[in-house]
């Protein structure tokens, strides 16, 4: 079954609902009755399992070509549960250019629980030399957030598996439509389902998918135990969003390329970070491991004043956190998504007061460019 068809039909050839509802039902219930002692419909309590959430998990697993997937109440809940696979004393090598919320989780929660972390640039550092006897996993986003660095997943998988490590990939920026890390050798994929999978900025969700059924079962048991599962209605919203995933990403990527090319020509824009540009250092790797370049564009202005002027003067584009929705959003990583990242780590990654991150939506590219043009300082056009 082709990807687009899986998006619409959830990887199934027919509806599993007894009434053949085209929109899969929302089983908005906490509990399920037993017909008699010793019998069960297969569902007992929604924290453990729910038909709507199960349908969604089957869909995401199908899209990622995974052994299975677990749906969580947020992307951070998904990452937190993945970290429960490990024990005190375990060591991780982490991409330093990473969503700030993930770094905050590692610093404030995981370190308290006895896990240790080494941060590195996976696109330039010698990762293999950093592996210790206690190292258990490599963790990376690719493209990275917000500097859009590209990491060779196949190369990392080879390093990880030669040393008996797990490779964990955050695939939020590209979604399984453009990139399938498990098919490239990764062991676990995590998502903020709030972003491209949901696609409408109307709910929060997270996912973890794995190549091993054993890992999936462990994640499910942990999620059930700590109660971090996704509610039925939110599961339905993500199912609905996934139906248009392919066509949304095609349009958003096309817009992103047009905007990246336009930004390159503006005198007050000093750098444009988009892996779809041939001069991007990760362009060749992206061509090998992904089927598209995504719709995230970061760029550096000539001054803090220019960056703030743009944020204060965009009208069609919203100045807001998050990404991956139908609407275009512009973010100031320094004070928003990466505010809790230690200053030295921000400096190493290149996150300063001139950096902006743009999540390109599905509006008219011409309208978006006009909005950006009108937000540039008049003296610098």
Among residues 17, 47, 240, 348, the one annotated as catalytic is 47
Catalytic-residue membership of 234 = no
Catalytic-residue membership of 47 = yes
Catalytic-residue membership of 195 = yes
Among residues 6, 180, 195, 357, the one annotated as catalytic is 195
Query: How buried is 350 (Cβ within 10 angstroms: 0-12 exposed, 13-18 middle, 19+ buried)?
Result: middle
Q: Which helix (H) or strand (E) holds 95?
A: strand 91-95
Rounded to the nearest angstrom, the gap between the alpha carbon of residue 260 and the centroid of all alpha carbons in its chain is 21
Catalytic-residue membership of 170 = yes
Nearest partner of 110 among 75, 140, 142, 85, judged by Cα:
85
Task: Give the C-alpha separation, 236 to 357, whole Å.
Answer: 29
Among residues 99, 139, 196, 273, the one annotated as catalytic is 99
Please, where are the H alpha helices in the chain?
Answer: 3-9, 51-64, 75-83, 100-105, 153-162, 175-178, 213-226, 232-242, 245-264, 283-289, 304-313, 343-349, 365-375
Among residues 90, 97, 152, 170, the one annotated as catalytic is 170
Inter-residue contact 357 to 311 (CB < 8 Å): no
Inter-residue contact 318 to 371 (CB < 8 Å): no
State the CB neighbour count (10 A cutoff) for residue 315: 9
- State the catalytic residues: 47, 99, 170, 195
């Amino acid at each position: 079954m082709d990807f687009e068809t899986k998006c619409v039909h959830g990887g199934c050839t027919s509806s599993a609902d007894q009434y053949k509802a085209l929109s899969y039902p929302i089983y908005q219930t906490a509990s399920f009755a037993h017909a008699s002692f010793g019998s069960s419909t297969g569902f007992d309590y929604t924290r453990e399992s729910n038909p709507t959430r199960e349908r969604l998990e089957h869909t995401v697993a199908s899209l990622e070509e995974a052994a299975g997937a677990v749906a969580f109440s947020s992307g951070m809940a998904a990452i937190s549960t993945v970290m429960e696979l490990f024990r005190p004393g375990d060591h991780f090598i982490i991409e330093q250019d990473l969503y700030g919320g993930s770094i905050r989780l590692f610093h404030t929660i995981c370190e308290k629980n006895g896990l240790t972390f080494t941060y590195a640039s996976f696109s330039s550092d010698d990762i293999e030399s950093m592996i210790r006897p206690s190292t258990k996993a490599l963790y990376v986003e690719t493209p990275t957030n917000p500097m859009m660095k590209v990491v060779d997943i196949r190369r990392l998988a080879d390093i990880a598996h030669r040393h008996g490590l797990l490779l964990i990939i955050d695939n939020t920026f590209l979604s399984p439509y453009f990139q399938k890390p498990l098919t490239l050798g990764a062991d676990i994929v995590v998502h903020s389902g709030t972003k491209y999978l949901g696609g409408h900025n109307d709910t929060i969700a997270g996912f973890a998918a794995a190549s091993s059924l054993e890992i999936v079962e462990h994640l499910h048991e942990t999620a059930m135990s700590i109660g971090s599962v996704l509610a039925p209605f939110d599961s339905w919203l993500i199912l609905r969003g996934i139906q248009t995933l392919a066509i949304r990403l095609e349009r958003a990527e096309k817009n992103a390329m047009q905007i990246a090319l336009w930004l390159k020509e503006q005198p007050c824009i000093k750098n444009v970070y988009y892996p779809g540009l041939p001069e991007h250092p990760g362009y060749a790797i992206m061509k090998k491991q992904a089927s598209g370049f995504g719709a995230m564009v970061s760029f550096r202005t000539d001054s803090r004043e220019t960056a703030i002027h743009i944020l204060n003067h965009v009208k069609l584009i919203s100045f807001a956190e998050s990404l991956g929705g139908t609407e275009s959003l512009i973010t100031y990583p320094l004070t928003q998504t990466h505010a809790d990242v230690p200053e030295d780590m921000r400096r190493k990654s290149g996150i300063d007061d001139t950096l902006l991150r743009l999540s390109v939506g599905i509006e008219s590219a011409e309208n978006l460019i006009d909005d950006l043009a009108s937000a540039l300082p008049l003296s610098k056009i």
